[in-house]
Every structure is written in C-alpha cells, then in structure tokens.
Amino acid sequence: MGVFGEGRLSVVVGTDESYPQFKQVWRPKVPMKIKVFTWLLFKERLLMKVYRVKWAVAATTTCELCSAAPETAAHLFCECVFVRRF
Ligand SMILES: [Zn+2]
C-alpha cells in the first residue's frame, strides 16, 4: 500500500452508516483509485456538471451523452439512456 494506507484513509474519510454497502468500498482487493472513486460517488462528491455550473466552470448542466437531463451522478450512472445501453 502507498504512503496513504487503507487504515489511514479510513480515518480521514470516516464511516457512513447510512450506506450499508459503504464497507464494501474498502474491500482489500479493489484498487485504491476505484475505492476513492466509489466513495466520492456515494458521498455525491464527484464533479458533475450541476456543480461545475454553480462554480461557473461549465456553461450548462445538460448531460453530454443524451442531452435530455441535467448531469447528476444518479443520471450519469443509472438513468442516462446512453449509459443504460451497456
Ligand atoms: Zn444522459
């Protein structure tokens, strides 16, 4: 494990009992970048367009894949018709 080992990362990010699958994120055989990405997804901390527009980094909130809805994490990973084809 790197300088920022799993135990130390768990101390920094804490735990969240509202997500029963939260402990699964930190399974030992999953690469750290996947663990961090999944944790950010659960915590709604991914930089989706709805947030980038608030910070004036993006011009619109519209999903780039389907242009039918705002790009939120729920839309991009679950609801987007483009993503649901896979
Ligand atoms: Zn979409």
What's the confidence (pLDDT) of residue 16? 56
**pLDDT-based confidence at residue 11 (cuts at 50, 70, 90):** very low
What is the Å distance from ligand 1's center to 29 Cα?
Answer: 31
- 44 against 73, higher pLDDT: 73
Does 13 score more than 90 pLDDT?
no
How many angstroms separate the alpha carbon of residue 48 from the centre of ligand 1?
12
Instruction: Give me ligand 1 centre to Cα 3, in Å.
Output: 37
Residues whose CB is under 5 A from ligand 1 (ion)?
63, 65-66, 80
* Alpha-helix residue ranges (DSSP H) falling in the chain: 6-13, 22-25, 32-42, 49-54, 73-74, 81-84
Is the pLDDT score of 38 beyond 70?
yes
pTM beyond cutoff 0.75: no
Distance of CA 71 from the midpoint of ligand 1 (Å): 7
